[in-house]
Amino acid sequence: MASTTGGGRPADTHGPGVRLPPPIMVAGVMALAWGLDQLWSVQIGPPAPGLGGMVIFLALALCGWALIALVRAGNDPRPDKPDEALVEAGPFRFSRNPIYLGFLLGATGLALSWGTLWGWLGVVATHALLDRLVIAREETYLAARFGAAYEAYRGRVRRWM
């Protein structure tokens, strides 16, 4: 007989199956963009380090707020760990993925600071990787883990914003 969580749901000892930690994924993409920019810089706008820095600050603040909400709900924020609760508080009221939105904002801040094609291509690649390799898996996992409660939440709150 399968064990259950407090709500009668089957206990799940596995998370959504995300193998590469998303912060490493994002850092790798943006490091590659930076490296390509060092080899062949293609300026497409003026560098805006002040604006980029503000966007990065907002990204860090959003990630921190989301992490606090996850931990308060009893969840381990690592995407390879099972969730104990469906979190709908804090920034999760506005975005189903505020941490990944923060990562995308951070990449955008770097692109703004550099003003180069490679930075913006890094933002596009970051979005695609997070959306397809991480969020899609997490959504499948959360739908199986929390059922109707997750589907209702999914109907109320957008994926990104």
Pull the structure tokens for residue 150: 């997750």
From the number of C-beta atoms within 10 Å of its C-beta (0-12, 13-18, 19+), residue 136 rates as middle
Q: Flag whether pLDDT at 12 surpasses 60.
A: no
pLDDT digits (tens, 9 = 90+) for 32-45: 999 999 999 999 99
Please report which residue ranges of 40-135 form alpha helices under DSSP H: 49-72, 98-114, 117-129
Query: Sorting pLDDT into bands at 50, 70 and 90, what band is 66?
Result: very high
Tell me the average pLDDT across 61-86.
Answer: 94
pLDDT of residue 79: 83
How many angstroms separate the CA atoms of 81 and 138, rounded? Answer: 11
What integer best gives the mean pLDDT of the chain? 92
Q: What Cα–Cα distance (Å) separates residue 118 from each residue in 2, 33, 39, 49, 159? A: 49, 5, 11, 16, 26
Query: Sorting pLDDT into bands at 50, 70 and 90, what band is 13?
Result: low
pLDDT of residue 154: 97
pLDDT of residue 14: 67
pLDDT digits (tens, 9 = 90+) for 107-129: 999 999 999 999 999 999 999 99
Tell me the average pLDDT across 129-153.
Answer: 96
Ranking 10-14, 19-23, 145-149 by mean pLDDT, the lowest is 10-14
